[in-house]
């Protein structure tokens, strides 16, 4: 009987060690999943900051376009070319806004998927190793999608900055044309005055 008890005790100790090992593996997998979730959230925050900067740039472009429309009323026939460029800039700005809205919608979808991933990650303590592997692959795919969206936002930022420079150049040309037009009008008035006096 003593030998039987010893054998049972040994089997219980072995079973306890196996359970303890599985618990340690589950804890490591849970920590790895949490780290992946934190990195993905960091990428999302970066995307939101880029969207905010792009929105500010678009607002500045809008202000420049409004100022150009107000100055156009005093421009001469030479300013019609600038008007055409302004229309093209407005069309490009509209397209840029549409792309920004699309990126925002995609970013919102990513957040929803991230929330779903968080819910699934919280269940990894009781999931099998295969399940944890699936979640890790999902997190990797999500991180890549976020990186792709960051690259697209950077491209939109560069295009917005270029458009802003074009609008600024157009505004300067209008101001130069307006100043020249004013001088020409003043000269014509002076000539008319001299002729009238003659």
Instruction: Output the DSSP codes for 151-193.
Output: HHHHHHHHHHHHHHHHHHHHHHHHHHHHHHHHHHHHHHHHHHH
Residue 116: the pLDDT is 77
CB 171 within 8 A of CB 67: yes
Question: Does residue 103 lie in a domain region?
Answer: yes
Residue 24 is predicted with a pLDDT of 73
Q: Assess if residue 88 is contained within a domain.
A: yes
Which residue is listed with tokens 């269940």? Answer: 123
Domain that holds residue 178: 31-186
Q: Collect the ranges in the chain with pLDDT lower than 70.
A: 1-6, 8-13, 15-16, 19-20, 23, 26, 32-34, 36-37, 40, 42-44, 47, 50-51, 54-55, 57-62, 64-83, 85-86, 89, 93, 100, 107, 121-133, 135, 195, 197-198
Alpha helix (H) ranges present in the chain?
2-72, 80-121, 129-197
Instruction: Give the tens place of pLDDT for each residue, 28-68.
Output: 777 766 676 677 676 667 767 766 776 676 666 667 666 65
Would you say residue 179 lies in a domain? Answer: yes
Answer whether 71's CB lies under 8 Å from 151's CB.
Answer: no
Burial class of residue 153 (count of CB atoms within 10 Å of its CB; 0-12, 13-18, 19+): buried
**Rounded Cα–Cα distance for residues 68 and 63 (Å):** 9
Token pair 């303890």 in the structure block, residue: 20
Q: List Cβ neighbours of 48 (8 Å cut-off, separation of 6 or more).
A: 107
Q: Is 5 inside a domain boundary?
A: no
Can you tell me which residue has the tokens 């900067």?
53
- Asked, for residue 14, whether it belongs to a domain, the answer is no
The CA-atom distances, in angstroms, between 95 and each of 16, 91, 98 are 64, 6, 5
Tell me whether residue 94 is in a domain.
yes
Question: What pLDDT sits at residue 195?
Answer: 66
Write the DSSP symbol of residue 122: T
84 close to 77: Cβ distance less than 8 angstroms:
no
In a domain, 73, yes or no: yes
**Does residue 91 belong to any structural domain of this protein?**
yes
Task: Please tell me whether the overall predicted TM-score, pTM, comes out greater than 0.75 for this model.
Answer: no
Structurally, how many domains does the chain consist of?
1
């Amino acid at each position: 009987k003593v030998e039987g008890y010893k054998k049972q005790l040994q089997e219980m100790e072995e079973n306890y060690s196996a359970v303890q090992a599985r618990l340690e593996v589950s804890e490591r997998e849970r920590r790895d999943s949490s780290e992946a979730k934190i990195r993905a959230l960091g990428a999302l925050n970066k995307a939101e900051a880029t969207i905010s900067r792009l929105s500010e740039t678009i607002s500045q472009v809008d202000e420049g376009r409004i100022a150009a429309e107000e100055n156009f009323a005093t421009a001469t026939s030479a300013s019609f070319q600038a008007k055409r460029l302004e229309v093209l800039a407005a069309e490009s700005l509209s397209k840029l806004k549409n792309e920004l809205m699309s990126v925002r919608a995609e970013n919102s979808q990513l957040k929803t998927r991230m929330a779903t991933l968080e819910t699934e990650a919280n269940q990894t303590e009781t999931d099998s190793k295969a399940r944890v592997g699936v979640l890790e692959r999902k997190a990797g795919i999500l991180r890549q999608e976020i990186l792709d969206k960051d690259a697209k936002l950077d491209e939109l930022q560069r295009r917005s900055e270029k458009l802003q420079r074009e609008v600024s150049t157009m505004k300067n040309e209008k101001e130069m044309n307006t100043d020249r037009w004013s001088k020409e009008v003043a000269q014509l008035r002076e000539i008319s005055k001299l002729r009238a006096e003659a």
